[in-house]
C-alpha cells in the first residue's frame, strides 16, 4: 500500500515500496494527484510492466537529440534528419521524456500542419521522434512504458506522384542531354535504380558477361532499403549503355558515372537538360505550326525515371511482383505498388 504524506503546507509526497522494485516517490501539489500517481505505479508493478521513471524524468528530449547527433546522425544519408532534429529541439526539446504525452505530440503535429508544412514533412518529424524514443529505450537505458508516438495519427500524404515518361518526352530528353547525362538516363530506365545508387556504382561491380550489376549503396553503407547489396539483372539495352560508357574516359575513383559526386551535384545538370529539351520541343512545335504544351517535361524529376522503369518491368510481363521487388529493392509490395503506375490502355490490350 502506498504511503501519502504531507510535505509542508502545499505539497503531498507519494511513496511506493514493493519487494523486488526500487523505492518510488514523487511530490505533487494535491493529495488527489499523489494518490492517482501511486495507484498507477502499483498497477504497473502488479502487471509486471513497471519501468522506473527516474531516468526519463531527468532526461530531456534535447539530451537525446544531442546524443543522436554525435552517435547516429553521421551515419545517416537522408537530408531531412538535420532540419527535423532542429524542429523537434525547438518545439519539444525542453520537455522530459516522461512529459512527452500523445496529447503534446498531437499538438505539435497540428501546429506544424497549420503553419503550412506538408504532410510528408510533419510525418517524418513525428517518425523521427518515435525512433529517438525507441532508441533511448532499447540502447541507451532511458525507457518509457510505451512510445507516445504510437498513439498519434500521422498526417495523410496526398502528394503521391503518378508521373509517367511519355514517348515524345523521352525522345526530346535523350536528344537534348549531354552524352553522359543521356547514358545515365537510359541506364536508369533499364535498371530502375535510384540516382544515388547509380552514382555510387563501380565498374568492379558490373559483369556484362553475366549481365548482372551489384548495387552496394552510397559509400558502401548499404542500399536505402537496408540491404548490404542488391543484384540487378541487366537488359541488353543496359549492357549497350555500359559498352558506350567504356569508350569514354574513365574516372580515377572507379565509379561508372563519375561525373557527379552525389545526387545533389546532379540537380543542376538535370535542370539544364530539361530546359534544353523543353526549348527544342517548343521550337519544333512552332516550326510545324502546332500548339506546344508549355509544361512539357518541366515537372519531370530524375526519380520519375525509377517509377517509369518499375512500371515497364511489369508491362513487359516477364517478371512477377516479387521478382520486380528484388530488382528495384522495394521492401514491401505496398511500396512497390506506390512506385508502379501502369497505363490503362496497356492493361486494356490484355483484355483482348
Hey, which residues are catalytic here?
194, 224, 303, 306, 330, 339
Inter-axis angle of helices 263-288 and 167-176, nearest 10: 110
Strand partners, 206: 213
In contact, 190 and 234? CB cutoff 8 Å: yes
Query: Could you tell me the CA-to-CA distances from 345 to 201, 205, 305, 306 in Å, in that order?
Result: 35, 38, 20, 21
Q: Give the separation between CA 312 and CA 343, rounded to whole angstroms.
A: 10
Residue 60 neighbours by CB distance under 10 Å: 20
Residue 100 has which C-alpha cell?
512527452
Closest CA to 271 of 294, 299, 308: 299
- Classified as helix, coil or strand, 27 is strand
Question: What number of CA atoms fall less than 13 Å from residue 336's CA on the CB side?
Answer: 18
Residue 143 has which C-alpha cell?
525507457
Burial status of residue 33 (CB atoms within 10 A of its CB: 0-12, 13-18, 19 or more): middle
Strand partners, 202: 255
What is the phi-psi region of residue 23: left when phi exceeds 0, alpha when psi lies from -120 to 50, beta otherwise? Answer: beta
For the chain, how far is it from start to end, CA to CA, in angstroms? 77
Amino acid at each position: 500500500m502506498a504511503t501519502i504524506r504531507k510535505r509542508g503546507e502545499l505539497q503531498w509526497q507519494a511513496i511506493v515500496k514493493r519487494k523486488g522494485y526500487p523505492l518510488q516517490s514523487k511530490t505533487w501539489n494535491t493529495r488527489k494527484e499523489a494518490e492517482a500517481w501511486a495507484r498507477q505505479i502499483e498497477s504497473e508493478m502488479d502487471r509486471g510492466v513497471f519501468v522506473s521513471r527516474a531516468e526519463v524524468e531527468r532526461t530531456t528530449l534535447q539530451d537525446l537529440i544531442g546524443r543522436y547527433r554525435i552517435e547516429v546522425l553521421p551515419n545517416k544519408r537522408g537530408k531531412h534528419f538535420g532540419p527535423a532534429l532542429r524542429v523537434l529541439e525547438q518545439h519539444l526539446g525542453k520537455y522530459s521524456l516522461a512529459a512527452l504525452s500523445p496529447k503534446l505530440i498531437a499538438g505539435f503535429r497540428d501546429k506544424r500542419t497549420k503553419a503550412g508544412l506538408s504532410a510528408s514533412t510533419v510525418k517524418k518529424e513525428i517518425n523521427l521522434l518515435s525512433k529517438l524514443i525507441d532508441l533511448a529505450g532499447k540502447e541507451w537505458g532511458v525507457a518509457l512504458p510505451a512510445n507516445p508516438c504510437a498513439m498519434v495519427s500521422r498526417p495523410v500524404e496526398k502528394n503521391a506522384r503518378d508521373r509517367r515518361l511519355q514517348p515524345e518526352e523521352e525522345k526530346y530528353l535523350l536528344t537534348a542531354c549531354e552524352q553522359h547525362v543521356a547514358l545515365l538516363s537510359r541506364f536508369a530506365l533499364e535498371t530502375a535504380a535510384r540516382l544515388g545508387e547509380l552514382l555510387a556504382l563501380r565498374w568492379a561491380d558490373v559483369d556484362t558477361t553475366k549481365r548482372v550489376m551489384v548495387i552496394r549503396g552510397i559509400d558502401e553503407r548499404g542500399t536505402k532499403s537496408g540491404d548490404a547489396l542488391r543484384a540487378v539483372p541487366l537488359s541488353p539495352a543496359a549492357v549497350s549503355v555500359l559498352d558506350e560508357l567504356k569508350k569514354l574516359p574513365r574516372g580515377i575513383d572507379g565509379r561508372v558515372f563519375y561525373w557527379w559526386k552525389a545526387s545533389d551535384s546532379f540537380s543542376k545538370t538535370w535542370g539544364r537538360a530539361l530546359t534544353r529539351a523543353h526549348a527544342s520541343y517548343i521550337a519544333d512545335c512552332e516550326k510545324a505550326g502546332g500548339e506546344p504544351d508549355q509544361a512539357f517535361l518541366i515537372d519531370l524529376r530524375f526519380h520519375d525515371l525509377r517509377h517509369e522503369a518499375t512500371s515497364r518491368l511489369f508491362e513487359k510481363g516477364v517478371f512477377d511482383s516479387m521478382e520486380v521487388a528484388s530488382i528495384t529493392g522495394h521492401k514491401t509490395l505496398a511500396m512497390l505498388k506506390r512506385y508502379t503506375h501502369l497505363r490503362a490502355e496497356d492493361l486494356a490490350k490484355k483484355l483482348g
